[in-house]
Structure 1
């Protein structure tokens, strides 16, 4: 059983809605256990990360970066970083903003650098934008054209009505792709060892 943590902060429920869709997609892969965890809770107990094989980080984009609770969670992992206890695990990221661009790329890059410093392996977003295949823009997967991670745009509405259908579809596909990549990685490990145990 591969264990995935979807770690997020959500001030108004929009990022949480996407996190749930990502988790749904990841959980659709056999032999996968997915937990939704709030970043502010993990900031006080970062060692809980050691119980997972992969991490999908989620944050709203605030002023071109991750939110304060996500940054606090990142900073709380310093002890794990010094011992490189998360090395070799899989990671990915997603972010939400109110505008199509909204400088979301810099948020994903901060997640990427964080995971690289921990020695993790980053999974991007391989989904081709479907509008080029004739799918209506709002219904198209990866309509915002992000390759480094998942981007979603939230209108000023309740979370259940804030997103274009394509963004929800993309979130599920993104989660499923991550879980499938984790299964491939774990099958390739010698003797079925976790990355930490193999060192």
Structure 2
């Protein structure tokens, strides 16, 4: 039975909604267990991230999906602190040959989100993981309006929402949600094939 772990930071809730949609998609694959692991500020003490329970769940997972909002063209500091803390696992190649994937969100249509995905893919490559791409063409190429891969990202899923300073609850575009869900299902299907 494959396990997909989604580890992410979300500042305003948009990345959290994407993580939930990925989890829902992965859960559609029979026999898949999904762990949703949100990085929070309380896990960081004196600039260092630490949470042994989260690390144990990631060590036991067959796939790890990394997620972060894109801040100033890169991953959020909170996720970077987590990644730095996992360097001991890297040294032992503890995540080698696990399936990996990534997702990000920003308020700008570009926001240099590609930089965040490249960082996440590079981190996975350094761990010796096997990266899964989106696998969906942009529906706009075919004149469809379902919003699947509406931002045309292939390395990982990108989401975008208008900047809202009113304090209302986070929402994501229906196409970004659908793309995230399909991505989760793809990751789980590939993981299931890989662990066989």
* TM-score in terms of structure 1 length: 0.88
5 Å-filtered alignment, 1:122-133, equals 122-133=131-142
Contact 1:99–1:153 (CA under 8 A) maintained in structure 2: yes
Structure 2: tracts of 5 or more residues without a match: 44-48
| Higher mean C-alpha displacement, 44-53 vs 139-148 | 44-53
Contact 1:14–1:159 (CA under 8 A) maintained in structure 2: no
Contact 1:43–1:74 (CA under 8 A) maintained in structure 2: no
Contact 1:61–1:102 (CA under 8 A) maintained in structure 2: yes
Structure 1: tracts of 5 or more residues without a match: 188-199
Runs of 4+ with deviation above 6 angstroms: none
CA RMSD of aligned residues (A): 1.4
1:25 to 2:34 alignment: no
The aligned residue for residue 16 of structure 2 is 16
The aligned residue for residue 148 of structure 1 is 155
The aligned residue for residue 3 of structure 2 is 3
The aligned residue for residue 60 of structure 1 is 69
The Cα of 1:159 is off from its aligned counterpart by 5.0
C-alpha deviations, 1:44-85, integer Å up to 9, x for none? 323442111100111000001000110000000111111111
SS of residue paired to 1:128: coil
* Higher strand content, 1 or 2: 2
1: CA distance between counterparts of 2:173 and 2:14? 12
